Amino acid sequence: MGVAVNRERIRVGNGCGFWGDQPDAPILLAQHGRLDFLTLEYLAELTMSILAQQRQRDPQLGYATDFLDVLERLCPLWRDQPNLRIITNAGGLNAISCAERACEIVRRHHLRKRIAIVVGDDIQPRLQELLASGHSLAHLDTGQPLETVIDRVVCANVYLGAQPIVAALDQGAELVITGRVADASLTVAPAIWTFGWSWTDWDKLAAATIAGHLIECGAQVTGGLFSDWTSVPDLANVGYPIAELEWDGTFRILRPESSGGMVTINTVREQLLYEVGDPSAYITPEVIADFTSVTLRALEPDGVEVRAAQGKPATETYKVSIAYKDGYICSGQVVLTGHDAADKARLCADIVRSRLHRAGYEPQEYNVELLGTGDTLPGIWPRTRPPEVVLRLTAWDPRRPVIERFAREIAPLVTSGPSGVCGYATGRPVVREVFAYWPALLDKSTIKPEIHMLST
């Protein structure tokens, strides 16, 4: 395998947990992290549907454009750290365009780099062919056949694994741009490539998968989102996480010494169960990782060592995420004031509904939330009667004109509702097309990832 094959330890840092994460985080992590690999994760479950809309408007788009801003700022650092490799799923639905733009940026900085593009995750053009050859792509939870929504599908992607990224690194890639890839695989790939692990060394693959899972959400393992938030120092400067992996599968979760936040047994325990189903069987394209197998040890002054991970053979399927058009939604807000603010808010909600009814535009779904009174989780938080209430009205309907009419009914509350209405200064709320989520499985044998190389 590649040049780094004899190394015994690598440091993989993740500088981005989702599209919209802190813009300075990747730069600070690359500056202070002493990294071998920098990963940047941009694709949440529904990001692909937003990218599909952008690509529809402009065929040159459909990738996480923020990555290009990050790359621009990383290039000067890359000159000082020539061995740093960057792996990102910023390619989204258009990894080729993303890589071409990345190439231009790297060239402008007079750097000579090899850039790999991983494609093959996008199965939208093949849906009919796959259905015809007996792959049902049935909804993972409901079992419904895809045929029920197929004419409304906007994107369909399999979660690829570490294999094509390892192949790209083998070909000398210093920047790897992928589309949809399992988040943890961004970390698993550099470990496999560096240590030369076998694809059936399940325990080691599980270890790297757990490391990837722990760092994939950025600051969530270094003090962000932590229950005992008052004990976290300097969240403003929270460090982004580093997984320091060893050839035997042992790894440490760390953060740059100069940063804020903290990595403790407790922050690691919380993140270990984040967005997990059965913790003894966390399924990725590489392995089924057993999160209940690991032992954690606190490091001084900060950090956690993770040992003894166990894994089982991977499944025969890839997970697929499909998004399909599902009507229109709009959400608008006003603020009501006074000791009877909650009563006024309820009246406003009734007024809007009744005006929509009179106009013949009653939405199929209508939701009223009196934020501040306990309505984020109705029936769970105790009801309160605060002196001010944010009234949030949300409507959904398959017919766009219904939701457009709803959007026009919020502002009139200012003059034709009860007294004490304020906080309506941001204009008419935006009508948004809804993209619903359709998870499915697909036989791995149907997918052949490809790698294209570019050089600057």
Partner 1 sequence: MRLYNLALARSGDKGNHANIGVLARSPEIYAWLKDFLTAARVEDYFRSLRPSRVERYEAPNIWGLNFVLYDVLAGGAARSLRLDSQGKSLACALLEMEIPQSAKPPH
Footprint of partner 1 (CB under 8 A): 44-46, 49, 141, 225-228, 266, 269-280, 291-296, 323, 326, 329, 331, 365-367, 369, 371, 375-381, 392, 394-396, 434-437, 439
CB of 242 closer than 8 Å to CB of 271: no
Element (H, E) at 97: helix 95-108
- CA-based nearest residue to 375, from 346, 407, 404, 340: 346
CB of 92 closer than 8 Å to CB of 60: no
Which of residues 74 and 390 has its CB atom nearest to partner 1 in the complex?
390
Which tokens hold the place of 243?
């997984």
Which of residues 102 and 323 has its CB atom nearest to partner 1 in the complex?
323
Which of residues 79 and 269 has its CB atom nearest to partner 1 in the complex?
269
Which of residues 112 and 400 has its CB atom nearest to partner 1 in the complex?
400
Helices (H), 133-264: 163-170, 185-195, 202-215
244 vs 82, 96, 175, 237, 254, CA distance in Å? 19, 31, 20, 21, 7
Which tokens hold the place of 302?
């900060």
CB of 147 to partner 1, least distance (A): 20
Which of residues 245 and 391 has its CB atom nearest to partner 1 in the complex?
391
CB of 269 to partner 1, least distance (A): 4
Which of residues 114 and 325 has its CB atom nearest to partner 1 in the complex?
325
Which of residues 193 and 291 has its CB atom nearest to partner 1 in the complex?
291
Task: Enumerate residues 6+ apart whose C-beta is below 8 A from 367.
Answer: 393, 394, 395
Pairing between β-strand 432-443 and β-strand 317-337 as defined by DSSP bridges: antiparallel
CB of 274 to partner 1, least distance (A): 5
- CA-based nearest residue to 95, from 59, 63, 122: 63
CB of 127 to partner 1, least distance (A): 19
CB of 28 to partner 1, least distance (A): 24
CB of 34 to partner 1, least distance (A): 28
Q: Which residue has the tokens 């608008």?
A: 332
What is the Cα–Cα distance from 445 to 128, expressed in whole angstroms? 17
Which of residues 166 and 210 has its CB atom nearest to partner 1 in the complex?
210
Which tokens hold the place of 287?
């392995």
Which of residues 240 and 328 has its CB atom nearest to partner 1 in the complex?
328
CB of 226 to partner 1, least distance (A): 8
- CA-based nearest residue to 20, from 37, 40, 42: 42
Which tokens hold the place of 389?
């209430």
Which of residues 174 and 305 has its CB atom nearest to partner 1 in the complex?
305
CB of 140 to partner 1, least distance (A): 8
What is the Cα–Cα distance from 311 to 32, expressed in whole angstroms? 32
Which tokens hold the place of 332?
């608008």
- CA-based nearest residue to 242, from 229, 258, 255, 233: 255
CB of 29 closer than 8 Å to CB of 56: no
CB of 324 closer than 8 Å to CB of 438: yes
Q: Angle CA(124)–CA(115)–CA(9) in degrees, nearest 5?
A: 105
- CA-based nearest residue to 117, from 163, 158, 176: 176
